[in-house]
Amino acid sequence: MRTSWQQATNLKPMAVRLQVLAMEEHLLSVLGFELTVPTAKTFLRRFVQAAMHGGEPNLRLEHLASYLTELALLEYGEDPAQKHQA
């Protein structure tokens, strides 16, 4: 007689993979996890929260950090060679 482990290993690999992904998705949704691509805004929000040590949020600090990040991202997207030609 075969054990359940032996039966599970005889399943098609793709079916097992899809079942595992479905179980992971269900588990994450039950726990309330949100999986997204991290952005500068997401990082800043969490960084400011950590900097405040769980205290009251400082909106002024968060807005300043957001503004400086946007400026840095704008400058990062520019071609340095074009700056010197102008």
pLDDT at position 10 is 63
pLDDT at position 67 is 92
Residues above pLDDT 90, as percent of the chain: 2
**Residue range 52-63: mean pLDDT, rounded:** 81
How many whole angstroms separate alpha carbon 39 and alpha carbon 66? Answer: 11
How many whole angstroms separate alpha carbon 25 and alpha carbon 13? Answer: 18
Tell me the three state secondary structure of residue 68: helix
- Please determine, for residue 51, whether its predicted confidence score (pLDDT) is greater than 70: yes
84's tokens = 């010197």
The domain spans of the chain are 1-35, 40-85
Question: Torsions phi, psi of 46, nearest 5?
Answer: -70, -35
